[in-house]
């Protein structure tokens, strides 16, 4: 979209942070845009691997009903992410919460979408890192697992978004997607953060979901890392067209309704 000149997380002075989606709510005053988050994290600690920890009780990816996924919420001040369960040291250690724009008053807790569970207490999760589709292993004892019956599917060829409750379609509508020079990246992602605009007439509409996805064309977007999101719009006529910088625009009333329903960690599958 031609007027889409700010990155989802780039403008530091125009934001408020709100902690939510089945959790407590914390509002941090700013000027224009706000964040709603579930959990997040990073630290400099480098704990060693221990395969002797007993996994916490709870649902598993093999016992979930159709259409239900697992969200892993970090519970400690940091979470170690390993390249494999037998790796001697973490590939990265993420703080929990992570700081939006590095600002101490904008602490965002961390959530991951669970891809795989092992009986020895290790979990493979999607990561909000480049390249798209990156995953890593975390210990089940470091997170709280929560079943989530919600998921989103975006069909680029149809210019349609579908929101599911388990296997039932809860909403279907037209969307605007990336133009040929800045296409919307396909793949499986998850909702990382929810942004609420104080001025709903801005380019993002009243709400924007920031995804774990990144543009495969734009490595930098006004100070940000070319993140991709699902958001409202200030021009309903673009719905059904390929005009954006890679983000997915949808109906303002519907994203407002969904902002009260979809937790962070919700799967988002973008197909061609």
Question: DSSP class of residue 49?
Answer: P
Q: Which of 15, 151, 188, 231 is catalytic?
A: 231
**Coil/strand/helix, residue 264:** coil
Pull the structure tokens for residue 127.
């990561």
- The whole-angstrom separation of Cα 130 and Cα 8 is 16
Q: Which of 154, 247, 248, 250 is catalytic?
A: 247
| Alpha carbon distances (Å) from 89 to 47, 56, 81, 136 | 7, 22, 9, 13
- The whole-angstrom separation of Cα 131 and Cα 250 is 26
Bridge pairing between strands 177-178 and 187-197? unpaired
Contact 246, 185 (CB under 8 A): yes
Active site residue 149: no
Active site residue 214: no
Question: DSSP class of residue 109?
Answer: -
List residues with catalytic annotation. Answer: 231, 247
């Amino acid at each position: 979209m031609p007027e889409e000149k700010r990155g989802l997380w780039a403008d530091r002075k125009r934001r408020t942070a709100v902690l939510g989606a089945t959790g407590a709510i914390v509002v941090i005053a700013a000027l224009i845009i706000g964040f709603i988050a579930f959990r997040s994290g990073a630290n400099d600690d480098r704990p060693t691997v221990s395969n002797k920890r007993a996994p916490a009780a709870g649902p598993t990816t093999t016992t979930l009903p159709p259409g239900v996924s697992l969200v892993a919420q970090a519970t400690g001040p940091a979470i170690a992410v390993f390249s494999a369960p037998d790796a001697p040291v973490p590939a990265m250690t993420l703080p929990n919460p992570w700081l939006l724009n590095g600002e101490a008053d904008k602490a965002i807790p961390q959530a991951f979408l669970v891809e795989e569970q092992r009986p020895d207490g290790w979990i493979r999760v999607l990561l909000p890192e480049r390249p798209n589709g990156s995953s890593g292993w975390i210990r089940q004892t470091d997170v709280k697992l929560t079943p989530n019956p919600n998921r989103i599917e975006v069909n680029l060829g149809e210019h349609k978004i579908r929101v599911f409750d388990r296997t039932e379609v809860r909403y279907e509508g037209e969307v605007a997607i990336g133009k040929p020079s800045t296409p919307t990246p396909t793949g499986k992602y998850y909702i990382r953060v929810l942004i609420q605009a104080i001025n709903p007439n801005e380019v993002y509409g009243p709400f924007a979901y920031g995804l774990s996805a990144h543009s495969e064309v734009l490595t930098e977007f006004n100070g940000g890392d070319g993140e991709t999101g699902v958001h409202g719009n200030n021009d309903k006529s673009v719905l059904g067209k390929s005009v954006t910088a890679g983000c997915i625009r949808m109906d303002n009333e519907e994203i407002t309704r969904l902002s009260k329903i979809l937790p962070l960690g919700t799967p988002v599958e973008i197909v061609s």
